[in-house]
Structure formats: structure tokens, C-alpha cells
Amino acid sequence: MQVPGVPPEDLPAELPDAKSVLLDVRENDEWAAGHAPGALHIPMNEVPQRLDELPEADQVYVVCRSGGRSARVTAYLNANGWDAVNVERGMNGWAATGRPVVSDEPGAEPMVL
């Protein structure tokens, strides 16, 4: 099955916004090291139990490190009535295009694990 995808450079400049959410499905340590500002964090294996945490949005952009896990979550969300799109190349691509990355670790330089 073909999963809809978008390269990070084609994403809206301001994410999330009133009509979209950026869902990060990486593990807790990956998230803590560096993530997109304003993203929602739900690790991939917790998504089915935590669907009620996804806000009402016209578009759900799903991101992981390189695009594999997020493609699986995108397919799952689309099969369950969401309008989800995989962020191609993941946070690696996000950071490589100069998009902002923040860390939960005080004083630590944000990085993509």
C-alpha cells in the first residue's frame, strides 16, 4: 500500500498550526534528545491506545527518525479515519533542511538520535 508522504522542505513553515498537528512517534530518548517545537509525542507502540490524544486536525504529519516507523503509523491512522501524511526522511531530513530542533535536556545541544 502506498503511504502519502511529504518531504520536510514542502511542509508548512509553521507547524503545528490550527489545522495540522506534527506527531512524533519516536522513542522517549530520541524525543528528549531533539524534536520539532510544538510536536506531539506518542511513541509508535503506544499510538493505538492513545488515539484520543490526537487533537482535531485537518492534517496529521507523522515523523520518526528516518521515515520507516512514521510510514507504518501513517498507514494505521489513515486506515482508522485520520488524514495522515508521512514526513519523508523523518527528523533527519527535518534537521538537514534547517528546521528548528529543540531538546528537553537543559543546556544540551538538540540533536536527532
What gap in Å lies between CA 15 and CA 22, rounded to an integer? 7
pTM, two decimal places = 0.94
pLDDT tens for the 113 residues of the chain, in order: 679 999 999 988 777 677 899 999 999 999 999 999 999 999 999 999 999 999 888 999 999 999 999 999 999 999 999 999 999 999 999 999 999 999 988 888 999 98
Half-sphere exposure of 11 (CA within 13 A, CB side): 34
Residues annotated catalytic, as ranges: 64
